[in-house]
Structure formats: structure tokens, C-alpha cells
């Protein structure tokens, strides 16, 4: 009988030990879960702290706005700049999307350099042209209006001028989903009629400070890169004109590098004042 009671006591003790072990294990698992939850909360809190910093940086960038000086077509800061006065230029590419615009856009995107691509409507008459324009827009570039047929506006009737501008706005919007804000007239020739149409369309028109890639001596990548970066016309806020040309495409990496070596930065079109003045 004593032996029987002894065995019962031993079994009870063993059962108690197992229960204690299970309880301890459960407590450890609970502690691990709690630690995991605390870590997740801390990570979420850190993310919340990082997001306002990103937004703050974006807001600071957007506060630096520029307006177009129509005396020399440079971009000038609307407010007096604080801190370092870094020199900047605006890159623009006309006659897109011909043969080289997509390649140029990819180069610029790789280097994180913003630009405006001014589009001719006659390049958008086939599916390939539309596809190229959409690709450029999806890379994040501003798309501007350079008229449907690159005609001299001074030689057109009011109705023809309207068709050159508004028809292309409609076409670009249909392809990219965004209506153009910026306009550049072929040959830099604007008229009272075109200016009125642009005002009604809430558009901003611009010419350029300098460009060279249509001149015979600069239809070479090395020569073009050199003059674009070292011309005496270079100044802070310069509005640079380039075209969809093979030699311009080949010069583009050296042009970007040349400006960076001179400590120039590139103006984002989003920073340009979108409201046109009255003149």
C-alpha cells in the first residue's frame, strides 16, 4: 500500500513539473510576441517620423519658385534665396519625339536631370510616335507644346494658329493624361493671336537664352558639348535650347557632366511659376 501511495505521489510531482514547464514556455512565447509587437510599433513610429521629413524636404524644394524673365528668357527666383546661391540652368529639348527623344529622356532620367520636352504634333500621327511620347512622360518629364506642324505663327490666320496650339494640347492630353502648361513657338515667333490663345489655355510661353545644335559647326557632339557649357552666354538661370538630334543626344552626357563640374544644378520645371503675366 505504501508503495502504491509513493507511486501516486511521484506521478503527481511529474505532472506538476510538466505543467510548470508548459507555463514557462507559454510565458516565453508571450514575451517573444510582446517584444515583436513592440518592435513593429517602433518601426511604424520611425516610418511616421521619416515621412514628415520627406514631405518637409519636398515642400522646401517647391518653395523655391522661378519666373521667366522675358528680356533674356532666364529663370529668376521669385523670392530672395537664402543659404548658398547655387547657379542653375533649365534644359529644354525641342522637336520631340523624333528619333532620339526617348534615348535622351532615358539618359536624363538616369542622371536625375529634369527637362521640358517640347513636342511637334506631326510626330504623333502614328502609334510609334504616341508610344514614344507616353514613354517620355512616364519617365517623369514635363511635356510642352511646340505646335502641330512647326509653322511660323506670323504667317498663319487666327484659325490656323488656334488649330496649331489647341489641337496639339488636346492630342498630348489624350496620350499622357496631362494638358501641357508650357509653350514654345517655332523659331521663337509669337503673335498677339498666339498670346491670347495661350492666355485662354492658361499656358506659359517661353523662348530660350541660347542654343547651338542647328549650326553647322556644332553638329558634332564634342563641339556642341563644349559650346553649351563654356559659351559666354551662360549665366545663372539660363534657358538652354537643344533639339532631338543625334549629335545632341551624343553630347548630352558631356553637357550634364560639364555643368556639374561648374557646380551648376538643373531647374525642375515644377518650380517654374505657372501663371502667365499680362504682356
State the Cα–Cα distance between residues 16 and 276, nearest whole angstrom: 85
pLDDT at residue 85, rounded to an integer? 76
State the Cα–Cα distance between residues 80 and 209, nearest whole angstrom: 22
> Is residue 63 predicted with pLDDT exceeding 50?
yes
pLDDT digits (tens, 9 = 90+) for 2-12: 444 444 444 44
State the Cα–Cα distance between residues 203 and 276, nearest whole angstrom: 7
Lowest-confidence pick of 13-17, 100-104, 138-142, 205-209: 13-17
Q: What is the DSSP letter of 120?
A: P
pLDDT at residue 119, rounded to an integer? 99
Q: What is the DSSP letter of 271?
A: G
Tell me what the mean pLDDT of segment 248-274 comes to: 98
Residue 74 CA neighbour count, 13 Å, CB half: 14
The C-alpha cell at 121 is 504634333
Q: Given pLDDT bands bounded at 50, 70 and 90, which one contains residue 80? A: confident
Residue 202 CA, distance from chain mean position: 21
State the Cα–Cα distance between residues 215 and 139, nearest whole angstrom: 30
pLDDT digits (tens, 9 = 90+) for 87-98: 999 999 999 999
Q: Given pLDDT bands bounded at 50, 70 and 90, which one contains residue 274? A: confident
> Is residue 57 predicted with pLDDT exceeding 80?
no
pLDDT digits (tens, 9 = 90+) for 133-175: 999 999 999 999 999 999 999 999 999 999 999 999 999 999 9
State the Cα–Cα distance between residues 122 and 186, nearest whole angstrom: 13
Q: What is the CA radius of gyration of the chain?
A: 31
Compute, in degrees rounded to 10, the torsion defined by CA atoms 134, 137, 139, 141.
160
CATH architecture of 66-271: Alpha-Beta Barrel (3.20)
State the Cα–Cα distance between residues 12 and 17, nearest whole angstrom: 9
The C-alpha cell at 188 is 521663337
> Is residue 53 predicted with pLDDT exceeding 70?
no
- Asked if 88 and 237 count as a contact pair (C-beta separation under 8 A), the reply is yes
pLDDT at residue 278, rounded to an integer? 55
> pTM above 0.85?
no
State the Cα–Cα distance between residues 22 and 24, nearest whole angstrom: 5
pLDDT at residue 79, rounded to an integer? 85
State the Cα–Cα distance between residues 93 and 234, nearest whole angstrom: 17
pLDDT at residue 50, rounded to an integer? 45
For the chain, the first-to-last Cα distance in angstroms comes to: 116
The C-alpha cell at 16 is 506538476
pLDDT digits (tens, 9 = 90+) for 195-220: 999 999 999 999 999 999 999 999 99
Domain residues of the chain, as ranges?
Answer: 1-63, 66-271
Q: Where are any strands of DSSP class E within the chain?
A: 66-69, 74-77, 88-96, 116-119, 142-145, 182-183, 204-205, 238-243, 265-266
Amino acid at each position: 500500500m505504501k508503495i502504491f501511495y509513493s507511486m501516486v505521489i511521484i506521478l503527481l510531482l511529474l505532472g506538476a513539473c510538466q505543467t510548470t514547464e508548459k507555463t514557462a514556455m507559454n510565458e516565453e512565447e508571450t514575451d517573444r510576441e510582446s517584444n515583436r509587437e513592440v518592435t513593429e510599433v517602433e518601426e511604424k513610429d520611425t516610418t511616421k517620423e521619416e515621412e514628415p521629413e520627406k514631405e518637409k524636404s519636398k515642400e522646401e524644394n517647391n518653395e523655391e519658385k522661378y519666373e521667366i524673365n522675358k528680356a533674356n528668357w532666364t529663370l529668376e527666383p521669385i523670392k530672395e534665396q537664402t543659404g548658398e546661391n547655387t547657379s542653375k540652368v533649365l534644359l529644354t529639348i525641342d522637336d520631340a519625339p523624333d528619333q532620339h527623344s526617348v534615348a535622351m529622356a532615358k539618359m536624363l532620367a538616369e542622371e536625375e536631370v529634369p527637362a521640358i520636352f517640347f513636342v511637334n504634333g506631326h510626330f504623333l500621327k502614328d502609334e510609334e510616335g504616341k508610344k514614344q511620347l507616353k514613354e517620355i512622360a512616364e519617365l517623369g518629364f514635363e511635356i510642352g507644346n511646340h505646335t502641330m506642324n512647326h509653322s511660323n505663327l506670323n504667317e498663319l490666320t487666327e484659325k490656323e494658329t488656334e488649330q496649331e496650339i489647341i489641337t496639339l494640347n488636346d492630342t498630348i492630353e489624350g496620350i499622357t493624361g496631362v494638358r501641357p502648361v508650357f509653350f514654345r513657338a517655332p523659331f521663337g515667333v509669337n503673335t498677339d493671336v498666339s498670346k491670347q490663345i495661350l492666355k485662354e489655355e492658361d499656358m506659359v510661353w517661353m523662348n530660350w537664352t541660347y542654343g547651338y545644335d542647328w549650326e553647322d559647326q556644332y553638329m558634332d557632339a564634342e563641339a556642341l558639348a563644349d559650346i553649351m557649357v563654356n559659351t559666354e552666354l551662360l549665366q545663372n538661370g539660363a534657358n538652354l535650347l537643344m533639339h532631338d538630334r543625334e549629335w545632341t543626344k551624343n553630347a548630352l552626357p558631356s553637357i550634364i557632366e560639364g555643368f556639374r563640374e561648374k557646380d551648376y544644378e538643373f531647374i525642375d520645371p515644377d518650380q517654374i511659376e505657372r501663371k502667365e503675366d499680362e504682356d
